[in-house]
Amino acid sequence: GHIDTLSAVLQKVDERGDKTLLVDCGQIKSIDANGLQILHVWLQCARFRGMEPKIINLSEGLQRIMMITGFAQTNAGLCLDGR
């Protein structure tokens, strides 16, 4: 399912030797606790592979959710770019 897809994406990025992982959230309008947990684990896996994740195209609503839930704080060093 989705976990296999996310794992395959990390594998492809890793094989290319990319060190910055751009996570484009432009199509995400809302996210629940399960989605945040999956994103958190996926970002940890990326860091484990030596990548630096950067979340881009966050809506104001998603930025607010990530701040309120503590997601931004528990992912210290994560670049949250609202562009």
Percent of the chain past pLDDT 90, that is, above it, reads 1
Determine the Cα–Cα distance for residues 12 and 15; give it in Å rounded to an integer: 5
Specify the pLDDT at position 77.
59
| Residue 35 DSSP one-character state | H
| Pairwise CA distance, residues 16 & 28, whole Å | 26
pLDDT digits 0-9 by tens, 21-57: 888 989 988 888 898 888 888 888 888 989 888 888 8
Predicted TM-score of the model (pTM): 0.76
CA 67 distance to own-chain centroid: 14
Q: Which residues pair with residue 21 across a beta bridge?
A: 53
